[in-house]
Structure 1
């Protein structure tokens, strides 16, 4: 008889047979302990909205469910399901949905990925990192044939399976990490290059509309960079689904009134970030070769992350290209808000999209780019839904009406057998969300007061904020509990 043996190293518990069951049990216990935070923050008619609850879950509970997952992701399915049940319970608390609500519906509404997908993404990222380390012993194991003497899966088996699954969409050539580590330029190597990452009085919140952003930005450009003395260089980058078929767009407006444009394909596997950086690189080269050196030049870009990276010395090649321009003229990089009607920015965006549809060269990517591409491929798509701006009580009512898993007679009778009949009190149909919102004769007066003209069910449940508020107002005025 063997004595049980467990050892904890860097927060991961190893057992004798490496089933990972003790570690997963500990992770579940820690996560369930913190689920109490969500329960204290919201009920079905009061409390924090979905955005706050989602932030609490992702910041304090989910890390316990994922720590060290690249090591134990091949554990038995029954072990992993214990963690899935914790997330499922958190989804019900976040949305206020009933216990019978399908998990996929809650995941779709909250854009919270299933834990299995996140574990796959972490496994792929870890495998790519190991492949980028030339002297790491795991690089050879991932490259050579896999030994299959044991029936149990392993990290190597799983990473190879995922590599085959995503072969068509992932770059096959990743640069070694040693080639990424270039010397960053010192602050003294870029004197006079001014980087402005804001426009006075322009905010990113919903309280400021596009017209206001446009007016404030155009006023800044006219005052600080008049066309008579400055070369205006608008740049933009684009990539399909943020990771494929990159394009760079450049619009240069010279003081004499003439303009120059350029569209460049930046690679089959290219992120928006890299396309934006490449657009600035190409623009700097173009200005250096063709512009009159007596004029100052301002690069106008909506790529805030690129400008911040340049400010922090994280883009040495771009810094070097701009320094070459700085040798003959004053250089300023100015951030501008995107998609608010600034003519130069809109034109650069069109040029970037033109570059994205050109023939794309096969390009090698860095590990950081590969990591971004993997995460983008696994990330759920988000759609604009005013549901997320509603109060807690309104959100609970809406998800229950949308999914059909609610306290109306039809569901309570068929699913839980807690209602004597699925029929509505009117006696004409089953009491469903569609019936009470569209046809129930007992609610005609309340319905006409909220919706004087006929309104489709789709609009009532998935329309604008104003329409959603009408729906929740109707439920309250009708005295219904859903």
Structure 2
């Protein structure tokens, strides 16, 4: 199919051919193979051969081009690393169900790991990665979507996405206070924020302006800032219920968290436990006639309440409360990609000094996307640049190395 869609100097763009390869060929190479690894080495080599041939057609590279450099140029990892990546995704998904039958079997096998140097199955490697996580993982019997009540799923929260305040406004704090006093007079104001340092945990800060009450929560390093922002909204709702506040407006600078809260529940990720819990708390507030509104504010523009919440979130990464200190499944879903990129970088650093040295000299790390993904070059120009980057092209110097062309210096 790929040969019909494009050749070296004609046909579809490499970015289009790469999409076809991912949808038609790589999906077949990936299907269920992580259950078989380690297995028949000869069979896996045949799969590797299919991948290398497809990448040569996609990129328009010469047959002599090294496979590891082709994989870097097309941003397609080696199949053995991809099998481990798919296994990690599978394990990190099922560990959220505490009654899944595979977990007990993997727990038993992890205690029987042999001391020899034989490679472990992909599933067992993934389970051992999960066991190395310091924080526990939140688990449930059914998906949070199916565990939520029908009324909470239909709930539509009151959210203000704009107060007409820009980041460049020098009087942002004064204008903000005027808008709040006119729109929510005599309402309680709660500010939430989340922060994450590159080498630390996620911190969540909650600040009640009228009572000057603060709360700091620390989440594990695997958590995302989005989870921290949503967790801040959840803590604000719990605060409203605890202190029985009749009228409350919650301010946050996380637009994505408010958009997820406003989205129709059946269109949400069914694993977003915190969002469904927020909707359950909102329903509880409505049943007690507590008015709760949400409002988005721009960050880092001098709004005093937001500045206070941001300061609390930064300090919470170190001194925040560690309850509940646990991971959520939608955050663990990002770990397989990080592990894959790290492993591929290590392989490229080792193999790039032996094969594919020409490309390694100009591309020493694994890119996230191929360089030709968003360029409008034609097929001929793209294939020529790829061949030049790989160091395997039709120039006389390289053809002389292949003993297919004799170049005489005059």
Same fold (TM over 0.5): yes
CA distance in 1, matches of 2:46, 2:215: 55
TM-score using structure 2 length: 0.65
Asked if 1:413 corresponds to 2:400, the answer is yes
Q: Secondary structure at the match of 1:173?
A: coil
Secondary structure of 2:373's aligned partner: helix
Residue 464 (structure 1) aligns with: none
Once residues 401 and 335 of structure 1 are traced to their aligned partners in structure 2, the CA distance between those partners, rounded to angstroms, is: 50
Give the counterpart of 1:102 among 49, 61, 66: 66
In structure 2, the residue matched to 1:399 is 386
1:193 aligned residue: 157
Residue pairs, 1:68-467, within 5 angstroms:
68-127=32-91, 138-145=102-109, 157-164=121-128, 168=132, 170-171=133-134, 173-178=136-141, 181=144, 183-187=147-151, 191=155, 193-194=157-158, 226-228=179-181, 229-230=183-184, 233=191, 235-236=193-194, 238=196, 240=198, 245-248=201-204, 264-285=217-238, 296-297=249-250, 299-303=252-256, 307=260, 311-312=264-265, 314=270, 315-323=275-283, 327-332=289-294, 355-356=316-317, 361=322, 363-379=325-341, 382=367, 387-393=372-378, 394-414=381-401, 416-421=402-407
Deviations 1:177-210 (A, max 9, x none): 42765721324677551358x88xxxxxxxxxxx
SS at match of 1:331: strand
**C-alpha contact 1:174 1:367 (8 A) present in aligned 2:** yes
What's the offset of the Cα at 1:374? 3.0
Structure 1 SS opposite 2:23: helix
SS at match of 2:61: coil
* CA distance 1:312–1:267, shift in 2 (3 Å): same
Question: What is the number of residues matched between the two proteins?
Answer: 357
Q: Could you tell me the TM-score, scaled by structure 1's length?
A: 0.57
**CA distance in structure 2 between the aligned counterparts of 1:163 and 1:191, rounded to whole angstroms:** 38
**Contact 1:247–1:263 (Cα < 8 Å) also in 2:** yes
What are structure 1's unaligned runs of at least 5 residues? Answer: 1-35, 200-212, 428-482
Conserved 8 A contact 2:240-2:248: no
CA contact (8 A) 1:70 1:126 kept: no
Equivalent-residue separation in structure 2 for 1:398 and 1:114 (angstroms): 23
Deviation at residue 235 of structure 1 after TM alignment:
3.9
8 Å contact kept, 2:136–2:325: yes
Higher relative contact order (CA 8 A, sep 6+): 2
